[in-house]
Structures are given as structure tokens and as C-alpha cells.
Amino acid sequence: MKRLISGLCVITDTAVQQRFSHVQLAELSMQGGADIVQLRGKALSTKDLFASAVGIRALSLAYGTVFIVNDRADIALASNADGVHLGQTDLPIAAARKILGNDKLIGATASTIDDALKAEQDGADYIGFGHIFSTTSKEKLTPPTGVAMLRDVLQAVKIPVMAIGGINQKNIESVWQTGVQSVAVISAVASAETPKAATAQLKKILTPL
Amino acid sequence: MSLSENQHKFSRLFLITDQALSNRPLLEVVSDACRAGVSLVQLREKTLDGKSLYALASALRGITLMYGARLFINDRLDVALAVNADGVVLPETSFPVQVVKHINPMLLVGRSVHDLDGAIDAQRCGADFLIVGHIFKTASKPKQPPRGLGFLNDISTHIHIPIFAVGGITPANARQCVQNGAFGVAAISSLMQSADISETVRAFQDAIAFVNTA
């Protein structure tokens, strides 16, 4: 069954930190109350990515967390994840849909309203919109969108939106107040001294408005 | 050695792409190769992102279908499924063979291996064929020493699925590979860089057809 995109999404990252593996970060986030965990291991081989995905999948079932794989529809399929998140240089949405069917979530990255509308039209289940603030975890070619543009996107599309990019303890409330369905963090959890506590603190701010 | 049922599914010459090696568009090279009789094509472009790889794979699917050739995608199962490729070739850093067979039993699965243990394991896990190398000296693996024909021979005595020798394969040494237990050969640079692909394909076919492997 297709899961719902809402609440706090923690993206695993072993580029901004090396203390924890993807599976460890996923588990700490789940313990902290993450609603969604996204596996993002761009530098991993398919073999290692698959192994991480299988590990996180088992945890996500135990914790009831939604599990999304970044970029790779095949890893999502093979690990029976809840879905895949596609960047703008990944498979087209239609190609991923053909592989994953209608029961899996497909998210698509957008950094403009036009991108978001296009992704919705192409059949995405949710939009990953950003980057909202400037960020160091990914090299960016465009300036941050800011919270104002996020509001415009929320007006423009009917599918859920996940805000992403530079979101942390200090600014997450301003993002959540837009009424966005989900907020994704990377460094705010991965680089925190205790990822579990950091997740719990962020989660507390995302109580229903 | 008699050919098993399995081996009849394959022809003996595999084209593996590497567009960086060619000064012509990849689609042209593959079209020419298929027209000349290549019926096994593996798309292997490790530096491409998913979007570009998918676009290329879609185009190659059109070409290979037109010539009745089989298309394999290296590593990316999603791209293979999305374009209805005939199969995947899994490096040892890719998915386990059984995972792919579980997802789609119709998909042909080749495994590239570099030692006997890997070959035996791949066969046991249900691989349809092996790509074994590198056999000869090749510019694409300048640091590792080639495995040689003895290695190929040794592996072939333990393996009953088709083996394609890879790495530095040319029409001049292809026959030796088949004489040493390979079912066929996989060529990268000798096809990608050929000035006359149909001539090169013919030379390969002459070299590996009707080899007495008994």
C-alpha cells in the first residue's frame, strides 16, 4: 500500500559525517521519531547500497517508518522500500513508475514552481522542494528558494511537498509554518552530536499546527 | 564439450560499449555492429547519470530490436527493466544474482568475475553466463596484470554456463580464448575504436566460428 508523506524526513548521509553508517543513522533517526528515512548513498556501489537498503528496510518495518531510496528505483524495488526519490538527473518519473507500480511512492526534486508542476503532471506522488536555505551538503547551482517560494509551490500543486535544503533546529519552525507536509533534514541530524536527540528535538517542533 | 541447451541462446561475440573510446556517436557504432551481425550488446557507461543512461538505453533498445540483437545493461537493473532490456550484467560490486532473478526470472543475468571462486559462486546463484577477465593486457585496466589463457582454461573446467572472455580481446587472439574454454568473447576497444566495424566483426566471426573445442 502506498504510504503517506508527512512529518520529519531524515536523509542518511556519510559524506557530511563518517561516524555512523547509513543503517546506524537510520536507526538513530527512527529511535528519535523520524517519520520518513531516505537512504542517500551516492558514493556506494550497488552491492553496498543494496545491503544498506535491506538493513534499513528491516528497521523501518519494525519502527513503522516510511523508507525512501534516493535516485535508484532498482534498489527501492529490490529492498521493497516504500518508494524512490528522483533528482533531476535520475530516471524519468514514468520510467520509475513502470518499474515500481502504483503502490510505491515516487518523489521528484523541484527547485522552481514550473519544475514542481511538471513533476506533478508526470505522476510524482510528492515534490521534494528546495533547497530552501543555503546548504553545504550538496553543491548547488541555483540560489536558495526561501520560504516564500515554498508557499507559492504549496499553492500551486495538489500533491504533498517535502521542503529540503539547509533546514535545521533554528529555521525549521519557519518552514513548518508554511503548512508544508514534510520537512527533510540532512546535516541537522547526521552531523549532530547525538542524532537521536537531534531528531527528537526537530520532531517536537513538527507537531501538527 | 557439447553445447548445452543454454549456450544455444547466445551468439559468440559480445559488444561492450564505452563511448569515451570512440570518436563516433555510440548509436552509430552499435547500429553498424548490429548490422554486421553482432547480436549481444552490453551498455556499460559508468560515468553517466540515471537520466542520460536511460536515454541511451532507450535508443539502443530500438536499434537492437531492429536487428534482433539482445541488449544488456551493466549494473543498473532499473534502467534494464525500464527499457525492457533482455538482461543485466552484474559486476561483483552489483546486486546478488538471485535478487535480480527474484524480481524478474525472465531477465538474463550475466556476472563479470575475476577469479574461480567468483565464477563458481555466480554459476551456483543462477547466472546465465559469465564474463571473465581481464585475459589480455588492456588499456582500461593498466595496473592489474592480465589473467591469461591458463586462468580462462582453469575456470572453464568448473563452469558449464557460457563464458565470455574479456579484456584486450582482438580478432587475432579471440580464437585462443575459445580454444581455452571460452564460449565466446566480449570486445570493447577493438570494436569501439574500429575504423571499419563490419570488417572487424567479420574477422571476429572468422576467428571464433567452428573452433574445435573438444
Q: Which domains does chain B possess?
A: 6-208 (3.20.20.70)
Helix, strand, coil share of chain B (percent; to 5)? 40, 15, 45
The reported pLDDT for the residue numbered A10 is 98
Question: Is any Cβ of chain A less than 8 angstroms from the Cβ of B47?
Answer: no
Q: Are B182 and B152 contacting, i.e. CB atoms less than 8 angstroms apart?
A: yes
**A31 in the Ramachandran plot: left (φ > 0), alpha (ψ -120 to 50) or beta?**
alpha
Contact at CB, B81 and A71, closer than 8 angstroms: no
Is B5's pLDDT higher than 50? Answer: no
* Residue B141: band (very low, low, confident or very high) from pLDDT cuts 50, 70, 90: confident
Provide the residue-wise pLDDT of chain A in tens; the chain has 209 residues. 789 899 999 999 999 999 999 999 999 999 999 999 999 999 999 999 999 999 999 999 999 999 999 999 999 999 999 999 999 999 999 999 999 999 999 999 999 999 999 999 999 999 999 999 998 766 666 889 999 999 999 999 999 999 999 999 999 999 999 999 999 999 999 999 999 999 999 999 998 65
How many Å apart are CA A164 and CA A153, to the nearest integer? 13
For B179, half-sphere exposure in the C-beta direction (CA atoms, 13 angstrom radius) is 8
The reported pLDDT for the residue numbered B8 is 54
Is B151's pLDDT higher than 70? Answer: yes
In chain B, residues with a C-beta closer than 8 Å to the C-beta of A73 are 78, 82
Going from the C-alpha of B57 to that of each of A128, B43, B64, B73, B94, the distances in angstroms are 27, 7, 10, 8, 18
Is B7's pLDDT higher than 60? Answer: no
Beta-bridge mates of residue B67? none
In chain A, residues with a C-beta closer than 8 Å to the C-beta of B52 are 89
Q: Locate the DSSP E strands across chain B.
A: 13-16, 40-43, 70-74, 87-90, 108-113, 129-132, 163-166, 184-187
The reported pLDDT for the residue numbered A75 is 98
* Residue B140: band (very low, low, confident or very high) from pLDDT cuts 50, 70, 90: confident
Q: What is the mean pLDDT of residues B15-31?
A: 96
Q: What is the CA radius of gyration of chain B?
A: 16
Is B213's pLDDT higher than 60? Answer: no
Contact at CB, B77 and A74, closer than 8 angstroms: yes
Find the closest chain A residue to B97 by CA distance: A47
The reported pLDDT for the residue numbered B1 is 40
Contact at CB, A91 and B54, closer than 8 angstroms: yes
Nearest to B83 by CA among B100, B62, B103: B62
The reported pLDDT for the residue numbered A157 is 98
Contact at CB, B96 and A50, closer than 8 angstroms: yes
Is B63's pLDDT higher than 60? Answer: yes
The reported pLDDT for the residue numbered A143 is 87
In chain B, residues with a C-beta closer than 8 Å to the C-beta of A46 are 75-76, 93-95
Q: Are B200 and B194 contacting, i.e. CB atoms less than 8 angstroms apart?
A: yes
The reported pLDDT for the residue numbered B3 is 46
DSSP SS3 for B181: coil
List of residues 6+ apart from A130 with CB closer than 8 A = A109, A111, A144, A145, A163, A164, A165, A166, A184
Shortest Cα–Cα distance, A170 to chain B (Å): 34
Find the closest chain A residue to B50 by CA distance: A90
How many Å apart are CA B59 and CA B72, to the nearest integer? 13
Is B79's pLDDT higher than 70? Answer: yes
Q: Are B78 and A72 contacting, i.e. CB atoms less than 8 angstroms apart?
A: yes
The reported pLDDT for the residue numbered A200 is 98
Q: Are A115 and A131 contacting, i.e. CB atoms less than 8 angstroms apart?
A: no
Chain A residues with CB within 8 Å of chain B CB: 45-48, 50, 71-74, 77-78, 86, 88-92, 95-96, 98-99
Provide the residue type at A196 as one letter: K
CATH code, residues A7-205:
3.20.20.70
How many Å apart are CA B113 and CA A102, to the nearest integer? 36
The reported pLDDT for the residue numbered B214 is 46
Shortest Cα–Cα distance, A209 to chain B (Å): 38
Nearest to A32 by CA among A40, A49, A45, A20: A20
